[in-house]
Chain A
Amino acid sequence: MNQTLNEKQKWYWKKNIKLIISLLVIWFLVGLGAGVLFAEPLSNIQFFNVSLAFWFAHQGSILVFILLILTYAVRMDKLDKQYKEMLKDGN
């Protein structure tokens, strides 16, 4: 394994970590945030026939979780592709 490959791997890992952190911030804000920590203020906001807090706690958070995992898979596919192209350019 030569030095440039290691550099590229480091770049890949950094990108990966950044993506994970931003997705987990959303995970926390939507799940434990909207569903638990801010449940009381959000209970006063009406969302169709239920309160917004209730909707997040029983429906919305799960929908967001699905989207987060999907986003991760799509973005990592893109990153893999960029990485492979970098390898080609380097050689």
Chain B
Amino acid sequence: MSVEVITIILVLITFATYTGIGWWSRVRDTSNFYVAGQGVPTLANGAAIAADWMSAASFISMAGLVAFLGYDGTIYLMGWTGGYVLLALLLAPYLRKFGKFTVPDFIGDRFYSSSARAVAAVATIFISLTYISGQMRGVGIVFSRYLQVDIVIGVLIGMAIVGFFALLGGMKGVTWTQAIQYFVIIIAFLIPAFAISFQLTGNPIPQLALTSSDIIDRLGQIQVDLGMTEYMVPFTDLSMINVFMVTLALMAGTAGLPHVIVRFYTVKSVRAARWSAVWAIIFIGLLYLTAPAVGAFAKYNLIDTIADQPLEEVQNIEWVSKWETTGLLQLDDVNGDGVVNFTGGEDNEVFIDGDIIVLSTPEVANLAPFIIALVAAGGLAAALSTASGLLITMTSAVSHDIYYRIFNKEASESQRLRVGRITLLIALAIAAYVGINPPGFAGEVVALAFGLGAASLFPVILLGIFDKRMNKEGAIAGIVTGLGFTLIMIGAMLSQSILGTDEPILDSFFGINAQGVGVVGMVLNFVVSFIVSRMTPEPPKDIQELIENVRAPEIDE
């Protein structure tokens, strides 16, 4: 059987499973639709969090990003896992104790203000929307590369599947599908990792092989020989202050991601929230500990296969020609010597999109066709699981926070559910549109969504729990300052792609780049909300009681 046929079979089997789960878990009330009736077991929730969290970016892009950044790739490794510590210790247990449906719910109630609720809802929608366009791009890449399907059709198929189980099952359907998708993702990631690790180092455990074999040394040596930067030396691609700031921005931003926070509302108790955090970080850690090894091994293998080889021979390799047609790999014999020159300088003739590192690993390492198909199914699972979580989050922000809590407080259960499903359909259509016509700056915006989350949602939730004196005035002033500052800075630094100027209006903020500037916004948010809250009246008695209650231990389980 050819790779294509196996891939189609595997994708069909996984899609049929997801659809079946959607049908089995269909729901009739808002509690199930938004938070799965708060009855999800700890282990399943951990797997669902992991799948929800690990997007197409984690599965497809991250190992490649790390491989190209070398040491400095730690911004993604630490940024995306370290944020989880903040989430598990500082936010998750208290939000579960609070026990409503959404993140804007907490912000709106805690700061007794419809405008705070509306700002939080808009931030939620914005973050989720930028995120979902990245997922759809991932779906498109997998379909076009593995099944030679047009990207448009690929996106539409993906949206139809997600739409089916999300519409029927709401959060309940999404949760159970994500739990299954986690296992597809991790198996698809680990098997090629074992194989390439064994092939290159003789040690099948990639984490151990990374440390104990000489592959990093060899990779560093090859890179230096070819005129690229050292692999193991810190701060060759980014300055120390940027590595620090970007890592911190990704951490705080990760902790403030509404579609991940909302997962902690779905479990039975505060204790269950803490333990699902444990399971989730173990599940996530498994992939994040493997990714830097896969990235390094795959890069070594790739350079080794094509650098300084005759151009004609390289172009005859099957995977090279297939990736060339997608445009993600380009070979251009600039100096016409018939040899592939792969260097870090002007004479470089190889252009590689980092996204193909993971997807091409099985082929570069000559693994069996079944494994190639498995990676395709894993990439789809990663993209679809995150997309479905984002859809539910956007839907609840519109139908629960804005429609029900602000505009129509009298709405009945069935009205709310209907509005929820209609909103989901609209969100689905928008997501499909941005998936098919990604805005030119989509990639940048996704990374920056973290900066905006760090400067807005994270500080506000944190202060809402840990500072009893924090009031409406302080919180709103803080969000507006943090968000405003970060938006202006990002707009000025990326003005070439966002506003279309010839030169960036601003190079950096005292050496901090656009990805890391959210940390400054976050600090401003903390300072401004502290000062403003101390100059204005303290929050009403019933709000102070609400905070006491969120902090108090949960007695019955």
Interface residues of A (CB under 8 A from B): 9, 12-13, 16, 20, 23-24, 27, 31-32, 35-37, 39-40, 43, 47-51, 53-55, 57-59, 61-63, 65-66, 68-70, 72-73, 76-77, 79-80, 83-84, 87
Contact = CB atoms under 8 A, between A and B. Distances in A.
A54 B70 CA distance: 9
A57 B71 CA distance: 7
A60 to B, nearest CB: 10
Nearest to A72: B89
Contacts of B74: 35-36, 57-58, 61
A80 B277 contact: no
A23 B281 CA distance: 16
Contact of B89 (A9, A32, A69, A79): A69
A57 B84 contact: no
B281 A65 contact: yes
B553 A83 contact: yes
Contacts of B551: 9, 13, 16
Contacts of B275: 73
B412 interface: no
A45 B74 CA distance: 18
Contact of B211 (A32, A59, A69): A59
A20 B90 contact: yes
B240 to A, nearest CB: 7
**Sorted from nearest, which 5 A-B pairs have the closest CB atoms?**
A57-B74, A39-B234, A58-B292, A73-B274, A69-B88
A88 to B, nearest CB: 11
Contacts of B207: 59
A48 to B, nearest CB: 5
A35 B244 CA distance: 9
B72 to A, nearest CB: 9
A14 to B, nearest CB: 10
A65 B244 contact: no
B211 A37 contact: no
A31 B278 contact: no
B464 interface: no
A65 B274 contact: no
B232 A54 contact: yes
Secondary structure class of chain A's binding surface, majority of residues = helix
Given A35-B78, A73-B274, A50 B285 contact: no
Contacts of A35: 74, 78, 247
Interface stretch (B181-189, B212-220, B471-479): B212-220
Contact of A66 (B210, B285, B554): B285
A69 B85 CA distance: 6
11 contacts: A12-B552, A13-B551, A13-B552, A23-B89, A47-B211, A49-B211, A49-B212, A57-B77, A58-B71, A61-B78, A69-B278
Contacts of A16: 551
Contacts of B248: 32
B288 interface: yes
Contact of A50 (B89, B93, B210, B247): B210
B169 interface: no
Given A24-B89, A69-B85, A57 B78 contact: yes
Interface string B242-276: 01100110010000000000000000000100110
B555 interface: yes
A31 B552 contact: no
Interface in B506-557: 548, 551-555
B233 interface: yes
Contacts of A9: 548, 551-553
B282 A66 contact: yes
Most buried by A among B82, B243, B275: B82
A69 B234 contact: no
Contact of A62 (B212, B214, B277, B288): B288
B368 interface: no
Nearest to B215: A49
A21 to B, nearest CB: 10
A31 B78 contact: yes
A87 B274 CA distance: 22
Contacts of A73: 274-275, 277-278
B289 interface: yes
A32 B443 CA distance: 25
B555 A87 contact: yes
B390 to A, nearest CB: 24
Contact of A55 (B93, B211, B234, B278): B211
Contacts of A36: 74, 234, 240, 243-244, 247
B247 A66 contact: no
B254 to A, nearest CB: 12
B235 A31 contact: no
A9 B234 CA distance: 46
B258 to A, nearest CB: 20
